[in-house]
Structure 1
C-alpha cells in the first residue's frame, strides 16, 4: 500500500511541477478552424455561396435596397402606411444613423470579407484533379466579381471608403482601422478584380447554377464602371463585347418575363438577364411562410431566398408606396416620327393607372374570377413591375420569388449608346442601340429617325433609361452620376409635394455612425458629421 501511495505522490508532483512532458490537452477532431475547414472543393464552394448570400442580407436585395433607391431616386413616394425610419428616406430626412443605410454598408463589407475569405482559402487549397483546378479558378473569379460589385456600390454611394483587399485572420489594430482610400484607388481595384474575373468565369452556367456570375456579368460591370468613371472609350470597348460572340444576349421578347416568376429563369424566353439576385418563394422550399427579409436570412430564416417587395409595394397588400406622378408622366412624350403626343407601351408593364396614363387598368387577369378593374380613382398610381397581381388579387405575404434584376441587356445597350453620345457620336451607332430597346416585340415603340445634337441625344438617352428601368433602382445612380440629382429631384418634388429636400451633401450618403464610432481613422475623416 505504501508503495502505491509513494507512486501516486510522485505522479502528482510531476504534474504540479511540469515534470510530465506529455501534452494533456486533447484536440477535438470534429472541430474545424480557418486553416482546416476550407480544404476541399465542397468547402470552398460553400464559402462562395455564402458570399452570394449577402446579396439578400439586411440593407440589400431582400428588402431595403428597393426602398432606399426607389425613394431616393424618386421612382417611388410614400403612401400613408409607410412610417418610421423608412419615411425618413422618402423625405430625405435621414441622418448617419439611418438603419437601412447602416445595414447596407455592413452587408456590402460583409460581402467583401466573405469574398476575401474565398480568395485566400481557394489560393491555399491544393486541388486533386483537373476539374478541381478549373473550379478553383472559377471560385476565385466569382469572389472577385462579388467584391468588385460591393466596392462599385460603396465608391458610388460614399466616395472614399476603406479598401480591404485581403482577409487577415488575426489582424492588428492598424489593419482593422483602415483609413479611407482615394476614390481613384477604389476604382482601380474594381477594374483589376473584374479584368481578372473575366478570365476564369464561364460564359454560362447549367440551370442548377443560375444566378452565379458569368463572364458576361464581369464584362457588363466593368463596362458600367468605365461609364461611371467617364472613361467613354473604354466603356464602348467593354460593353460592345456583349453584343457579339461568344455572348448570345438578346432582349426578352416579352418585357414582363423579366419581372414575373414563371419565365424569369427560362433561358429561351428570357435571354436578357446578365446578372440577377435569385429568389425562391418559401413555399417552394416546402417550409412555410417565414419572414427572412426582415433580418433573419442566416439565423431564424433558414433557407431564406426571397424578396418582400411584392407584398410591401402591393396596392392590395401593405400599400407602402406609390409610383411617383413624375415617373408616370415620363411615359407620355412627343412621338419621334409624328410629333404628336404619344404614350409609351412600357407604361402598361410598369404601373397600374388610368387609361390616359397608359398604365395597366386591369389586374387579376389569370384569376379564376377573371380580370378586375384597377381602382385608380381611390388607389392612385401603383407599381405593377415585380408584382403578382396578374395571378392573385392579394399576394398575402412577404415571400416573393421574383428575382431582382441587377444588370440586363437593355441596360447594357443603353449604357453603350450613352458612351458613344458622351464622346460626341450621335449617329448610327447610338441610334441603332436606342431603337433596338424600343423595338422589343412587346413594346414596339416608334423608332427615332435621328438623335439630333449631343444635348438632344443625351436628353433622349436619359428619358429612355428612365422609361426602361423605372423601379429597378437605377434612377438614383443615373441622376447622381449625371450631376443633375439636386435640380431634378427638387423640381419634381416641388411640383408634387411642395418640398425641395435634396441638399448639396446628398450627392453622397452619410458615412454610417456605427463605422464612425468603430473606426477612429474613418471617424476623424468625416466632415460636417456626414461624409
Structure 2
C-alpha cells in the first residue's frame, strides 16, 4: 500500500509542477469554432440566411403569427376545430405561459441573437477584394434591418424589453440577464439600426436573391417606426422617399396577385411588395417536412420554408377560423360620391361569402371541373386571402408556398396619408394617397372628393386600412397604437358573441413566464404577474 501511495504522490507532484509535458486535451482539427468558421464570404452569407430563417420559426410567420394577430385584432374568430391554447387567444383569456406568445418572444430574440452574430463576425472578417467589402457592408445592413424588425415588434407588443446589442464576441452573463430598457431607448436603437441599414442596403437584388431586405424596406420600417412613435413630420419625410426615385414601387394591378404564389417572386410582376417573408425561397431550400411549421424548424423539418395558413384557415381543409362578421360588414359602407350603400370590391379578394356581402361566391375557378359554388349557407364567411382555392378544391397539406406580406406599398401610402392627417392636413396630399389605393385597377372604388375635418379624415383612413389590410396582421397593431383597442374590440365582440374580453392590461402582452424564470432582472420587474 505504501508503494502505491508513493507512486500516487509522484503523479500528483508531476501534475502540480507541470512535470507532465504532454497536453491531454485533444483538439478536433476539423471542427469549426466561433473564431474559425466565420472567415469567408460564403460563411457570413450563410449566417445571414440563417437569420432570415428565424422568421419561419415557432411563433412567427410559418404558423403562429397569423393566429396571434388575426385573433387578437378580431380579423378572425375561432371555428369549432380550434381548440386549446389557440382558443385562449381567441377568447382573450391567455396567461403569461401562453405557448404561442412564449414562442414568439423566443423567436424574436433568436432573430436578434443571430443578427448580432452576423454583425460581430462580419465586422471581424477581412474581405479579400472590393466585391467582398461591398458584401460585408450589405450583410451587416441586412442584420441591422432584421434586428430592428424584431425590436419593432417587441417594443410595440411588450413595451420595455431587454435591449441586447451586438456582442464582443459572445454575450456575458450580465448581457444575457439584462433588465428591461426604457421604451424610448428601444425606439432610438431601432431608428439607428434602420438609418445604418439604409446606407448599405441595395435598391434591389438579382433574381437569385429576391426577398432579401432592400433599402426600401429599411426606409419603410423607419417611416413606420416614426408613425408609431407619433413623430408625424419624420414619418412624412421618410415614407415620402418611397414615392419617388430611385424607388419604383407601385400598386399591383390585380389585388390578389399579392397573395397568390405565381406572382410573388419577382419585382416586375409584383411591384408592390417592399418586404415579405419568403415561403417560396431564393436558395436551394424546398418544402422539406410539410409539418415543419408545427415546431420542426431546423430539426426534423429540415430546411423547410413554407406556411401552414392555407391549410389551417381553409374552409375545405382544417377549417380552424372564420373571418369575423365585423370584418365582413366593414366592406359595406356609404358611397363617398352618391351617399348610397356601397360594397367595396376588395371583399371579393378577401373572403368567401354571399353575394350581398360582396364576398367571392365561387371557388376552384381553375379546376378541371370548373367553378364550384361556395357553400355559404353551411360554411359561413371564410378567408380567401392567402388561399389556393382558385386552383384546387381541397389543398391537402400544410405546406403553402404563398409568401407573407410584411410591408407593401399600399400600406406605405396609407401610413403616409395618416401622418399628414395626424398633423391636421386633410387636404390634397392625404386625399390623393387614399384615392391612389382605392383606384387600383382591380378595385377601382369610388374616389373621395374630400376627407372633411381631421376626425372625419381619420375615420376614413382607419376604415381604408381595415379594408386594404384585413387578414394581414395589421389591425391589432393599429388599434393599439390609436388607443382604441378596448372600446373597438369589446363593442364588436358584444355584438357578435356577447362578450367583452379585452381588459386594460391587454394593451400590452404579458411578459412570458419562461423569460421571468430565466432572467431574474426581468422577473422582479414584472408587476401583477403580467407586464
Question: What is the TM-score of this pair, normalised by structure 2?
Answer: 0.96
Deviation of the 1:261 alpha carbon: 0.4
Give per-residue Cα distances to partners, 1:260-301, cap 9 Å, x unaligned: 001111322210000000003999967765210001110011
* Unaligned ranges ≥5, structure 1: none
Give, in angstroms, the shift of residue 22 of structure 1.
4.6
Query: Is the Cα contact below 8 Å between 1:282 and 1:290 reproduced in 2?
Result: no
Could you tell me how far 1:177 is from its partner in structure 2?
A: 1.1
Residue 50, structure 1, aligned to residue 50, structure 2: yes
The residue aligned with 2:102 is 102
Instruction: Provide the rounded CA distance (Å) in 1 between the counterparts of 2:347 and 2:3.
Output: 98
Partner Cα distance (2:301, 2:494) in 1:
42
Greater shift, 72-81 or 202-211, is seen at 202-211
Is the 2:515–2:522 contact (alpha carbons within 8 Å) kept by the matching residues of 1? yes
Cα distance in structure 1, aligned partners of 2:83 and 2:392: 26
Moved more, 197-206 or 288-297: 288-297
CA pair 360-220 structure 1, distance change in 2 beyond 3 A: same
The answer (yes or no) to whether the contact 2:414–2:434 under 8 Å persists in 1 is: yes
* Structure 1: distance between partners of 2:321 and 2:130: 52
Taking the aligned partners of 2:127 and 2:321, their CA distance within structure 1 comes to: 51
Q: What do the CA deviations read for 1:133-182 (whole angstroms, capped 9, x no partner)?
A: 00000000000000000000000000000000122555443222100000
- What per-residue deviation string (whole Å, max 9, x for no partner) do you get for residues 45-75 of structure 1? 1110111010000000000000000000000
Report the Cα distance in structure 1 between the residues aligned to 2:2 and 2:509, rounded to whole angstroms. 80
Quote how far apart the aligned CAs of 1:15 are: 8.0
Label 1:116 to 1:2 Cα distance change in 2 as closer, same or farther (>3 A): closer
Question: How far 1:27 sits from its partner (Å)?
Answer: 2.4
Deviation at 1:28, TM superposition (A): 1.4
> 2:238 aligns to what SS in structure 1?
helix
Q: CA offsets per residue over residues 409-440 of structure 1, 9 Å max, x none?
A: 00000000000000000000000000000000
Is the alpha carbon distance of 1:7 and 1:325 closer, same or farther for their aligned partners in structure 2, counting shifts above 3 Å?
A: closer
Following the alignment from structure 2 to structure 1, what is the Cα–Cα distance between the partners of residues 283 and 375? 30
Task: Report which stretch shifted further, 154-163 or 286-295.
Answer: 286-295
Name which of structure 1's ranges 405-414 and 10-19 shifts more when overlaid on structure 2: 10-19
* Structure 1 residues 492 and 286: alpha-carbon distance in aligned structure 2, compared to 1, 3 A threshold: closer
Cα distance per residue 1:352-407 (max 9 Å; x no partner): 00000000000000000000000000000000000000000000000000000000
SS in 2 for 1:37: coil
Question: Do 1:314 and 1:382's aligned partners in 2 also have CA atoms closer than 8 Å?
Answer: yes
Q: Per the alignment, do residues 295 and 168 of structure 1 end up closer, same or farther by CA in structure 2, a change over 3 Å counting? A: farther
Shift of 1:211: 1.1
The answer for the alignment partner of 1:88 in structure 2 is 88
Tell me the distance in 2 between the aligned counterparts of 1:6 and 1:70: 75
Alignment deviations for residues 74-96 of structure 1 (CA, whole Å, 9 cap, x no partner): 00000000000000000001000
1:282 and 1:306 in contact (8 A); partners too: no
Contact 1:281/1:400, CA 8 A, preserved across alignment: no
Higher mean displacement: 451-460 or 275-284: 275-284
- Structure 2: gaps of 5 or more residues: none
Asked whether 1:188 is paired with 2:188, we answer: yes
Partner of 1:168: 168
| Worse-matched range after superposition: 489-498 or 2-11 | 2-11
Q: CA RMSD, aligned part only? A: 3.0
Paired residues of 1:259 and 1:403 also in contact (CA < 8 A): yes
Do the aligned residues in 2 keep the contact of 1:480 with 1:507 (CA within 8 Å)?
yes
- Note if contact 1:312-1:398 (Cα within 8 Å) is conserved in structure 2: yes
- How many residues align structurally? 531
Tell me: CA distance 1:6–1:502, structure 2 relative to 1, closer, same or farther (3 Å). closer
What is the alpha-carbon distance in structure 2 between the residues aligned to residue 430 and residue 516 of structure 1? 44
Determine helix, strand or coil for the equivalent of 1:43.
Answer: helix
Q: Name the CA shift for 1:20/1:243 in 2 (closer, same or farther; >3 Å).
A: same
Measure how far apart 1:3 and its partner are.
Answer: 22
Task: Please say if residues 273 and 409 of structure 1, whose CA atoms lie closer than 8 Å, have aligned partners that are also in contact.
Answer: yes
TM-score in terms of structure 1 length: 0.96
Q: How far apart, in 1, do the equivalents of 2:522 and 2:57 lie?
A: 24
Q: For the residues of structure 2 that align with 1:429 and 1:263, how far apart are their CA atoms?
A: 31
8 Å Cα contact 2:289-2:301 kept in structure 1: no
